Amino acid sequence: MLKFVIIMSYSSASWARMLKVPEDRASEVAHLMEYFHGSLEAIYWEVETGSAFVIANLPDSVSAAAVITAATRTGAFTDVRVHEVLTQAQLREVVALAQSSDKVYCPPGRAATKRDV
């Protein structure tokens, strides 16, 4: 399961609706994530901008894109961004995998760099 941070900025009309009908949005977001075989970990609200930060576990990028498409079709958001995030253990795997390419990848301009050193 991949972890995503989804940042959504509500439109002023959405804020007006939220003040009028303060429903539990987390349960609806969780339901949407479950439909796409994922789960909602948490929702945080940024004080300065009022943006929502959704932390979700989803099976793949296609599912993440489908979640965003389903959520944004309402027109409730002015800006939506999705970021896949890695754990510290996954980052160590990335570094190890990148280091393993030393014998196969020669960056362009490497010879010039070696002479300058």
User: pLDDT (tens digit, 9 = 90+) per residue, 18-40?
Assistant: 889 888 889 999 999 999 999 99
Residue with tokens 């944004």: 72
Highest CATH level, class, for 2-103: alpha beta
Q: What is the pLDDT of residue 58?
A: 98
Confidence of residue 50 (pLDDT cuts 50, 70, 90): confident
Delimit the domains of the chain by residue range: 2-103
Token pair of 93 as six digits: 């795997």
Q: What is the pLDDT of residue 96?
A: 94
Token pair of 11 as six digits: 């439109």
Residue with tokens 């075989």: 37
Question: pLDDT tens across 61-73, in order?
Answer: 999 999 999 988 8
Question: pLDDT tens across 63-103, in order?
Answer: 999 999 998 888 888 889 999 999 999 999 999 999 998 88
Which residues contact residue 46 at a Cβ distance below 8 angstroms, ignoring those fewer than 6 apart? 52, 53
The model carries a pTM of 0.79
CA distance 26 to 8: 13
Treating both helix axes as pointing N-terminal to C-terminal, what angle do 25-35 and 61-72 enclose, rounded to 10 degrees? 140
In contact, 66 and 36? CB cutoff 8 Å: yes
Residue 116 has pLDDT above 60, yes or no: no
Residue 114 has pLDDT above 70, yes or no: no
